[in-house]
Amino acid sequence: MRNQKEDRFDRMLKSVLDSQADHVCMSPGLEYRIRQTVYESGKEKTKMKNGRKRKFAVALAAVCLLGSITAVAAGTVAGYHSHSWSDAREIKSLADVETVSKTVGYPLKAVETFASGYTLKGGHITDTEAVDSENNVVDAYKEVMFDYEKDGIQVILVEQPMADYKKGDSDHPNQTQIECGDITLTYREDPYKFVPPDYEPTDEEKAAMEAKELYISYGTDKVEETTYHFLTWTQGDILYTFMSYDEDAPGAEELTGMAKELIGLEG
């Protein structure tokens, strides 16, 4: 039989948990990321093979991750919240780029079709907030994400204002520098392993994760491995990022060729 003291303790414990939980609220950024992942995947459902939905979701998150890895080292920015203005894409063709450029307030660079054959499918503006470990906003800006595609393979180009905390993680493994005139391109590969929810990483995998040599993403039916390719550079005050992630996706050489085409364009 429970005594009065136990009841009082139980009430107090419940009250403490309630009051701690009460001040935790869903940020608009988190809500948007979750909805975007699901809605974008839903739209792509008809043309994506099993397992690709998850990879697409990770791809969206990975673009943000590139910066946040750097930012944690700098001790200021600990993460990003992003949300689009609307479900509609502001860029439907190259003709829309100039208008969007005026909207975001900085020059944008894009081509209709790269020499490699990747063709512009659309693009959209994202409002992004950089936050510190206590979820305080320390920077806010608009970034533009362009989708290019060739034979069902996607390449994403992100353009955003440069800031000190977005400078690269020089210690990251699988990273190389490519000189292009007076501009330095940084190419990086991140191996991802997609695994079922009950997957237990081996000790070797845990060590690789600690060393940033492997990223494990839960939620697929079977184990699959995918490498994400990133190419970043700064020109003027703009940070450019190319990202690809399919099995036959372009790697360093092809992405560098595409970067050179953009670098040669007038801003």
Residues forming contacts to another protein in the complex (CB under 8 A) are: 5, 8-10, 12-27, 30-31, 33-35, 37-39, 41-42, 45, 53-54, 57, 78-79, 133-135, 197-198, 209, 218-219
CB of residue 169 vs another protein: minimum separation in angstroms? 18
Measured from the CB atom, the residue of 37 and 116 that comes closer to another protein is: 37
Measured from the CB atom, the residue of 136 and 177 that comes closer to another protein is: 136
Measured from the CB atom, the residue of 13 and 223 that comes closer to another protein is: 13
Measured from the CB atom, the residue of 11 and 102 that comes closer to another protein is: 11
Q: Which two tokens stand for residue 133?
A: 């470990």
Residue with tokens 């950024």: 29
Closest CA to 239 of 86, 130, 114: 130
Alpha-carbon distance values, 74 to 69, 70, 143 (Å)? 9, 7, 21
CB of residue 129 vs another protein: minimum separation in angstroms? 13
> Residue 145's beta-bridge partner residues?
124, 158
Say how far apart CA 6 and CA 9 lie, in whole Å: 5
CB of residue 53 vs another protein: minimum separation in angstroms? 6
CB of residue 215 vs another protein: minimum separation in angstroms? 12
Q: Which two tokens stand for residue 186?
A: 């940084």
Residue 228 burial class via C-beta count within 10 angstroms: exposed 0-12, middle 13-18, buried 19 and up: buried
Q: Cα dihedral angle (117, 118, 120, 122), rounded to 10 degrees?
A: 150
Measured from the CB atom, the residue of 80 and 187 that comes closer to another protein is: 80
Which residues, 6+ apart, have CB-to-CB distance to 251 below 8 Å? 189, 229, 244
CB of residue 6 vs another protein: minimum separation in angstroms? 8
Say how far apart CA 39 and CA 253 lie, in whole Å: 33
Q: Which two tokens stand for residue 180?
A: 């292009």
Measured from the CB atom, the residue of 181 and 197 that comes closer to another protein is: 197
How do strand 183-195 and strand 215-218 relate by DSSP bridges? parallel
CB of residue 21 vs another protein: minimum separation in angstroms? 4
Return the ∠ at Cα 207 (arms to 222 and 249), rounded to 5°: 50
Residue with tokens 């550079």: 233
Measured from the CB atom, the residue of 132 and 189 that comes closer to another protein is: 132
CB of residue 80 vs another protein: minimum separation in angstroms? 11
